[in-house]
Amino acid sequence: MNDINLVLAEEFERLAAEYRARAKQYNQQEDITIHDISMVLTEKMKNGKVKEIKTLLRKYGAEKLIEVKPKDYVDIFEEAKKI
């Protein structure tokens, strides 16, 4: 019986860690603003990545950052960092 309890306890710990990580990620995602995205894109523009930025904006149906839908902020922010 002890072995089963130990296995269950370890599995619950693993699940709890996953839920904590997801909750932390979700909370961070809610905090992304258009200003955050603008700061990343500005830095990328300074590095000559204008074409890549325009392509990224078009991917989200926008010609300008202000046209990006708030629901897409997290995704565009993450992609912008990778440019």
Q: What is the pLDDT of residues 38-55, one digit of tens each?
A: 999 999 999 999 999 999
pTM of structure:
0.64
Q: Which amino acid is at 53?
A: I
Report the alpha-carbon distance of residue 82 to residue 77 in Å, rounded: 9
Report the alpha-carbon distance of residue 54 to residue 65 in Å, rounded: 9
Report the alpha-carbon distance of residue 2 to residue 70 in Å, rounded: 51
| pLDDT for residue 29 is more than 90 | no
Q: Which residue has the tokens 């306890």?
A: 9
Report the alpha-carbon distance of residue 74 to residue 37 in Å, rounded: 9
